[in-house]
Amino acid sequence: MTTSGQNPSSEDHEAVLEAASAPIVSEHDTLKYHLLGPSLTKAGQDTVDQQKVSEIIYNASKGSKYFSNEEYKDKNLTQKIEKILARKRQLERVDLASDLRRADEYIAELELSRDLSQTVVHIDCDAFYAAVEELDRPELKHVPMAVGKGVLTTCNYHARKFGCRSGMAGFVAMKLCPDLICLPLNFGKYTAKAQEVREILVEYDPRFESASIDEAYLNITQYCGEKNMDPEDAVSQLRNEVAEKTKITISAGIAANAKIAKIASNRNKPNGQFRVANDRATILAFMRDLPTRKVNGVGRVFERELDAIGVKTCGDLYPQRAYLSKLFGEKAFQFLMQCHLGLGRTKVQPAEEYERKSVGTESTFHDMSDKTELREKLRWIAEELEKDLTRTQFKGRTLVLKVKLYTYEVLTRQVIPPKAVRTADDLYTYSLPMLAKHEKEIPGMKLRLMGLRCTHLVSTKKTGIDFFGMRQLPSADGEPNSADTDAGNDGKWEVWPEAEFEEAARQERQDEMNELEQLSQETNTNGPNPLTAEEQLEEANRRHKHGRAILPNPDPTYRGPNSSVGFQKPATNHVPPPANEEPFWPCPICARPQSTNDKDFNDHIDFCLSKQTIKEAAKETSPSPPVLEKPLLDGRGKENGHGSSGGRGRPKGKRKSEAVGERGNKRLFFGLQGA
Ligand code: TTP
Ligand code: MG
């Protein structure tokens, strides 16, 4: 392993995590640990006393509805863990020789699939939103600053020293750091800057994979081969180029596969890089001491479950290998064994080539019980979802309505309309009876969130050639591309299990962000410029919307008049325009200059992404009545009532074995963390 960069303190960083997780002994402690929030592992907190931070969060949120909900979830998880432990004790009394043999066979099989021939890089911009804001206001570089008011989306590294981090309620952050400056969100600016970074990435790997607005995977094997360059030198050059051209810094991890590269990119943040050599012994040593939570795909719930059976690091997994499948399921066993061995995918491809499992939208609002208002809200959500379906070129065979009661309880119902749906009219028509059923079952129902989601997707693309030029195989039902294939069901797809675990962990973080929003809405009395309740809702909803955008990779073959690659590149937003001209941002899709008004800019991107399918949209016919409706999970459609306590953290997978070898590349969802 080699390091370079400005902050080679990875061991300290892990110590933070261990110190914070060490004293999980009582219910009180587990709750305090839970309240530390989704970004405990964020870089830049090496010197932070997390115990103190947890006390502050605990006291600041005590008495709120959020707090009772967290307490409830924590108790639930504790009970679930007790069951896991009881099962473990039971298993310790039986002969597990055949499970052990099977585990060893699986490990041997996995070893055969180890590929050390590729060089995968994960890059991640440092304190991204904050860094972009600092370009416009350089004086903020030297003081603690955060972006987002109700809930912090991020903060600069000064603020992190105080324990502030993304996914923290703004008023809590102000208690940790009273001088913290919180800026409002400007998504248009971040999107434009992200595209500048992507224009450089495409030179190193034209098929790089965006993983969120500020991170990407690249396979630089070919680049290094062609340029006869050492991977570390190539990455160093890439980072310098990004810093020079975009004026923001990125950190990078270099490894044999995407899983290790992602972990490594957090090692020398900010502005650093870390390589784990393509060598089996080095990889095993790297994984052995790695806390499980550092792996993308191990969320907070799963971390605690593993901790309960004595697994703190990926090295601790091996002695438990005979139990894992019986305790957590077959998929979890496979995923964990891959973690232990440091295996992961080496294939990197543009994000838009991954299949989506669902397209959905949701909206948070003030407690609402008026029936007409609820219907208006549902109609609005249906219209938003139509836009998303148009943009992503899907329709859904199943439509799911999600509501969150003012008590935080989440309920979902789903319906299978007679034909796949896409238009706002259809979406509304088929979801309305589900809403009405909830109203009937819960007299005086008061909601604070409503969402619609299409699953069992069917592509609306016209030909076998998709928008990005990739030929797609027709599915068994004759649709050009059916995305509802569950892993292994039809023999065509096989999920490389990490994708599902990453998605589950992402969902867990997303749920936690949503809950923190509720806390900040409840307790919005602190801070110098508290947002009004309206503004908080607006901020939350814009963040959700922004998080769903997927921009295509720049085209490396296009050379516009002012562009080094991909897009015409007028002056960036940081170069003042001539006095008589309005400032503008270039659209990352059509390259035309756009208004710097955040909403206008995003609306334009939406339009650009969806105009390919507008003709298609016009062809839809009118709806016919629904034929089947079924609530999810239980009679009243209660979806693990209180968020992530038990149901989240890892996917609820089938327990059937999946063959090793051919690595599927299906990805369930692609989006931003916490967005
Ligand atoms: P991250 O890369 O997770 O964070 P970061 O770039 O701010 O900091 P780091 O140096 O640790 O990488 O996320 C990228 C941007 O996404 C971040 O600047 C703000 C936004 N974001 C959210 O909106 N919600 C979240 O929960 C997180 C973690 C990030
Ligand atoms: Mg980042």
- The residue with tokens 């597990």 is 96
Tell me how far apart the alpha carbons of residues 561 and 55 are, in angstroms, rounded to a whole number: 57
Q: Give the confidence band of 674 by pLDDT, cuts at 50, 70, 90.
A: very low
- The residue with tokens 């110190």 is 19
| Tokens of residue 412, six digits | 């979902």
Tell me how far apart the alpha carbons of residues 34 and 76 are, in angstroms, rounded to a whole number: 12
Residue closest to 128 by CA, chosen among 270, 340, 302, 273: 270
User: Using alpha carbons only, what angle is made at residue 478 by residues 474 and 483, rounded to the nearest 5 degrees?
Assistant: 60
pLDDT at site 3: 44
pLDDT mean across residues, the chain: 77
Q: Is residue 643 left, alpha or beta, with left meaning phi > 0 and alpha meaning psi from -120 to 50? A: left
Ligand 1 pocket residue status of 414, Cβ below 6 Å:
no
Q: What DSSP element (H or E) covers 235?
A: helix 231-246
Q: Give the confidence band of 555 by pLDDT, cuts at 50, 70, 90.
A: confident
- Long-range own/partner contacts, residues 229-233 (CB < 8 A, 24 or more apart): 231/119, 231/121, 231/275, 232/2, 232/4, 232/273, 232/275
44 φ, ψ to 5°? 85, 15
**CA 192 to ligand 2 centroid distance, Å:** 15
Tell me how far apart the alpha carbons of residues 241 and 236 are, in angstroms, rounded to a whole number: 9
Q: Give the confidence band of 550 by pLDDT, cuts at 50, 70, 90.
A: low
Query: CB within 8 A of 580, min separation 6: which ones?
Result: none
| Tokens of residue 534, six digits | 């309206």
pLDDT at site 610: 59
Q: What is the 3-state secondary structure (H, E, C) of 43-86?
A: CCCCCCCHHHHHHHHHHHHCCCHHHHHHHHHHHHHHHHHHHHHH
Dump the DSSP string for 307-350: HHTT--BGGGGGGGHHHHHHHH-HHHHHHHHHHHHT--------
**Which atom of ligand 1 is nearest to 543's Cα?**
23
Ligand 1 pocket residue status of 213, Cβ below 6 Å:
yes
Are 669 and 506 a contacting pair, CB within 8 Å? yes
Crossing angle between the packed helical segments 300-308 and 498-522, to the nearest 10 degrees: 110
Residue closest to 599 by CA, chosen among 542, 541, 535: 542
Burial status of residue 563 (CB atoms within 10 A of its CB: 0-12, 13-18, 19 or more): middle
Q: Give the confidence band of 391 by pLDDT, cuts at 50, 70, 90.
A: confident
What are residue 362's DSSP bridge partners?
A: 451
More confident residue, 418 or 602: 418
pLDDT at site 126: 97
> How many residues comprise the chain?
675
pTM of the predicted protein model: 0.71
Q: Which residues are tagged catalytic? A: 215
pLDDT at site 233: 98
**Which atom of ligand 1 is nearest to 547's Cα?**
23
| Tokens of residue 362, six digits | 């949701």
Tell me how far apart the alpha carbons of residues 662 and 496 are, in angstroms, rounded to a whole number: 9
**CA 450 to ligand 2 centroid distance, Å:** 30
Give residue 411's identity as a one-letter amino acid code: L
Give the ligand with the smallest distance to the CA of 672.
Answer: 1
Q: Give the confidence band of 651 by pLDDT, cuts at 50, 70, 90.
A: low
Neighbours of 241 (CB within 10 A): 16
> Tens of pLDDT along 419-431?
999 999 999 999 9
Nearest CA to ligand 1 atom 10: 126
**CA 493 to ligand 2 centroid distance, Å:** 31
Q: Is the pLDDT of residue 464 over 60?
A: no
Are 322 and 233 a contacting pair, CB within 8 Å? no
Ligand 1 pocket residue status of 154, Cβ below 6 Å:
yes
Nearest CA to ligand 1 atom 21: 153
Q: Is the pLDDT of residue 462 over 60?
A: no
What are residue 585's DSSP bridge partners?
A: 594
Give residue 666's identity as a one-letter amino acid code: K
Ligand 1 pocket residue status of 166, Cβ below 6 Å:
yes
